[in-house]
Structure 1
Amino acid sequence: MKNETVVELIKDLTAKLSAVAEEFNGRVAKAAEPVPAGNEPNDAALVEHANAVLEQRRLRRKFLPGELFHEPAWDMLLALFASRDDRMPMNIKALVSMSDAPVTTSQRWIEHLHKLKLIDRVTDPTDRRRVEISLSYTGDQQMKAYLRALLRG
């Protein structure tokens, strides 16, 4: 009986994760519509905007209950994009801290983001316990498209 309940919970979670991914991909496709040349914000402006969005997300938790804003995958994608100018991937521990979610929840989202090919995971060759995370090329391009669409208003 318990195994059936766990299986049902896993199926439900998988369906929900797929729905979130589908919604995200739809929004990215819409945001990627061509824009006249010269109106495009540069990468520095996009990183600055990603940092502003992250700060706004943190600020609202000071005034309202945090459970209203539980989107760990989105927080992680924003953090990875905002850190891209550092040219340093984040380790899992740092990325989990950016998501403001339990470690196990964050790790499941990291796995899902990897399956969606939005992030890359690389095991540190000097310390195999350490896994570094960065946006994949696809993830970077989709985040740029989304942030450009936000800036276009």
Structure 2
Amino acid sequence: MKNESVVDLIKDLTAKLSAVAEEFNGRVAHAADPAPTSTEPSETDLVEQAQAVLAERRLRRRFLPSELFHEPAWDMMLALFVSRDERQPMNIKALVSMSDAPVTTSQRWIEHLHKLRLIDRVIDPTDRRRVEISLSYDGEQAMRGYLRALLLR
């Protein structure tokens, strides 16, 4: 009887070890599988989307009166997102030209975007008349979120 209980224990232990080995092999095989491809847009995708939105906005101005689409702040935000990727500093003069609005209107929008903490302004230490404009962290995150949503819809 003692032999039977030892044999039963060995059989039971063998079955349990076999189950553990199968589980281990399954986990090893799963770990070796390549990670699933991400559906998250890349940085390049986001910049290309911003460029496409800017191009579409300019295109419609060729065919329709520009006062129908007067959103200088939005044009500036798009231009700043693209310029950030191109590592091109954007000064007020360049940003005003991107807004397709009068200088005073554009400057008011720049001030408003700054108050909303969507852009940062940095005075050039060598020429204090020159002010560099860039998206703030919050502005960049907002633009990324919007562009990502456009790509994933």
Q: Is 1:116 equivalent to 2:127 in the alignment?
A: no
- 1:20 is aligned to none
What is the SS of the residue equivalent to 1:83?
helix
Structure 2 gaps of 5+ residues are 1-36
Q: State the Cα distance separating 1:83 from its structure 2 match.
A: 1.1
Q: Aligned partner of 2:140: which letter? A: D
Q: State the Cα distance separating 1:89 from its structure 2 match.
A: 2.4
Q: Deviations over 1:84-139 (max 9, x none)?
A: 11223200000000000000000000000001110000000000000000001111
Separation of aligned partners in 1, 2:45 and 2:139: 18
- 1:132 is aligned to 132
Separation of aligned partners in 2, 1:87 and 1:79: 12
- 2:64 is aligned to 64
- Paired residue total: 117
What is the SS of the residue equivalent to 2:117?
coil
What is the SS of the residue equivalent to 1:77?
helix
- 1:142 is aligned to 142
- 2:30 is aligned to none
What is the SS of the residue equivalent to 2:39?
coil
Separation of aligned partners in 1, 2:88 and 2:99: 18
Considering Cα pairs closer than 8 Å and 6+ residues apart, tell me whether 1 or 2 has the greater RCO: 1
Q: Aligned partner of 2:48: which letter? A: E
- 1:95 is aligned to 95
Q: Aligned partner of 2:152: which letter? A: R
What is the SS of the residue equivalent to 1:88?
coil
Structure 1 gaps of 5+ residues are 1-36
What is the SS of the residue equivalent to 2:88?
coil
Separation of aligned partners in 2, 1:140 and 1:74: 13
CA RMSD in angstroms, aligned pairs only = 1.0
Separation of aligned partners in 2, 1:88 and 1:126: 18
Separation of aligned partners in 2, 1:71 and 1:119: 16
What TM-score results when the alignment is normalised by the length of structure 2?
A: 0.75
Separation of aligned partners in 2, 1:148 and 1:126: 37
- 2:78 is aligned to 78
- 1:48 is aligned to 48
Q: State the Cα distance separating 1:53 from its structure 2 match.
A: 0.4
Q: Find runs of 4+ consecutive structure 1 residues off by over 2 angstroms.
A: none
Q: Aligned partner of 1:88: which letter? A: Q
Separation of aligned partners in 1, 2:128 and 2:67: 34
**Greater Cα radius of gyration, structure 1 or 2:** 2
Separation of aligned partners in 2, 1:40 and 1:97: 33
